[in-house]
Structure 1
């Protein structure tokens, strides 16, 4: 009986051993086959990255213009090497009735930069001009007053002679208009600014050349002194100038 029991266990162990050995051989063989196939695929098939270097991924919102919460004008793509200047107005309302526009105007007119632009029997309440450095903080300030605002962006190409001069004149005139709000300033003299403008190159051709020429004529005819009370109407004029470059 002991022998029989021993022989029984011996036969059972051999079967287990053979099974495990066969399983191990199968695993090794499958691994070698898989490795060979992988090497073949790697050598034969081309590399295909899901996102290659230099690929721009966007969320699909670029260039979308909406009435609330987004830029009114989509920014055109800037080519490599192109230098631009950006100017921002904030639209605080777009109304069919002037009375409604004036109510919004009254909430923010104290900043001295606000005006109402009438366009095709509609009324826009606008404030400007701002730069990328201060436009967001102004939007936040308006929000605290319960006024929602939307950016209107104007982009000028500094590589274009006409647009470059318009940008330079806008920058200079904006500094003058802003200075009128400084403490202790009663008025700002425009003579030096006019003399500087006369040093600019003479441009006789180009797209929007008439806009530039009219702009220069307007500056030459400015009064010798500007006060802060004049700022809203001047902002309105600059809005019209920049609107020519949409």
Structure 2
């Protein structure tokens, strides 16, 4: 897996025209679409640009709820939802040979998620589950960047789930974490007044403490730590 260092530098906010913002937004969408594919495809590159994030932050505040295209998206594949935890656990065990499903309690309901994926990853997994006769629904979490901490948090969350998804493959015994650690430590330090400062610092420290190789026995822990950060973006 190849990690590419993000170039995150603070820049003066731009007051460009609407056309310039539109171009920046389209480029950002394209960039985030390819996102962290470098993790499993050598030679790919990705950047999280501070000027773009700051422009998005200003526009999001001006537009309120009508924010247009999200800056980041997480795709959750759900295999079932139950009122009884034992039933959710039974389904989780049924699909466990295919990956690393996990249960999330929301109110009185227990949701069985097969995994969290990027825009490029979810469809092949969804089709695989469908072929296996497993009823699966897709839900999307849209994230709008408030500041640089939101962008970094999303990238780290996605990186962690890509490690989880790779380690969960049937023929994979373990995934080396040295490149993940190097990449995470190279990210720009977040200022303490930023919205997701604590979340970013916590995940960076967690990654730093990971063993040299992650296998299936470590997957559930990574999911628990990481999903706890992603659920705040759910509406």
TM over 0.5, shorter chain: yes
TM range, smaller chain:
0.5 to 0.7
1:139 aligned to which of 101, 116, 126: 126
Gapped runs of 5+ residues in structure 2? Answer: 1-64
CA distance in 1, matches of 2:173, 2:127: 29
> Equivalent residue of 2:173, what SS?
coil
Q: Aligned pair count?
A: 169
Is 1:217 aligned with 2:205? yes
**Cα gap change, 1:231/1:77 in structure 2, threshold over 3 Å: closer, same or farther?**
farther
* Higher Rg: 1
Look up the match of 1:191. 178
Scaled by the length of structure 2, what TM-score is found? 0.61
Question: Aligned partners of 1:105 and 1:181: how far apart in 2?
Answer: 14
Distance 1:89 1:131 in 2: 9
Normalising by structure 1, report the TM-score. 0.58
Aligned CA distance change for structure 1 residues 215 and 101 (closer, same or farther; 3 Å)? same
Higher relative contact order (CA 8 A, sep 6+): 2
**Alignment match, 2:217:** 229
Tell whether 2:227 aligns with 1:239: yes
Residue 32 of structure 2 is matched in structure 1 by none
Matched, 1:130 2:139: no
| Comparing 199-208 and 156-165, the one that deviates more | 156-165
